[in-house]
Amino acid sequence: AQTVTQSQPEMSVQEAETVTLSCTYDTSESDYYLFWYKQPPSRQMILVIRQEAYKQQNATENRFSVNFQKAAKSFSLKISDSQLGDAAMYFCAYRSAFETSYDKVIFGPGTSLSVIP
């Protein structure tokens, strides 16, 4: 079974600085998708960024980028120029690309990010 681990329960960053959130996962599959979701306090969860395992190029969305290391099974999220609105719980998630399995998303335990003005 696949597992997702986020070893940092809490992180903090100064406004305008850069922070990296860690995520590791365990799988025997070769094809899958990885996601970072953001859940602000009392607000709904939204997708931040998505990475396809068969693509070597790291995904980037504006100030958010990932460092995907397939061999190491590592998928970290880098937030540049941190803003107060980035304060939230961040979940790393895994989804199999196999047709019989991809209805289920496996979430990590989350990292709570605080942004210091």
Partner 1 sequence: DAMVIQNPRYQVTQFGKPVTLSCSQTLNHNVMYWYQQKSSQAPKLLFHYYDKDFNNEADTPDNFQSRRPNTSFCFLDIRSPGLGDAAMYLCATSRDPPLAQETQYFGPGTRLLVL
Q: How far is the CB of 16 from partner 1 (least distance, A)?
A: 27
Q: Is 90 one of the binding residues for partner 1 (CB under 8 A)? A: no
Q: How far is the CB of 46 from partner 1 (least distance, A)?
A: 7
Asked if residue 68 lies in contact with residue 60, where contact means CB atoms within 8 angstroms, the answer is no
* Residues paired with 116 in a beta bridge: 14
Question: Nearer to partner 1 by C-beta: 11 or 89?
Answer: 89
Give the integer Cα–Cα distance in Å for 86 and 78.
12
* Number of C-beta neighbours around residue 19 at 10 A: 19
In the region spanning residues 14 to 53, those forming contacts with partner 1, defined by CB under 8 A, are 32-33, 35, 43-47, 50, 52
Give the integer Cα–Cα distance in Å for 48 and 116.
21
Sign, Cα dihedral of 111, 59, 14, 84: negative
| Of the candidate residues 70, 74, 97, 114, the single one contacting partner 1 (CB under 8 A) | 97
Q: How far is the CB of 7 from partner 1 (least distance, A)?
A: 14
* Residues paired with 95 in a beta bridge: 33, 105
Q: Is 95 one of the binding residues for partner 1 (CB under 8 A)? A: yes
Interacting residues with partner 1 (CB under 8 A): 9, 32-33, 35, 43-47, 50, 52, 89, 91, 95-98, 102-105, 107-110, 112
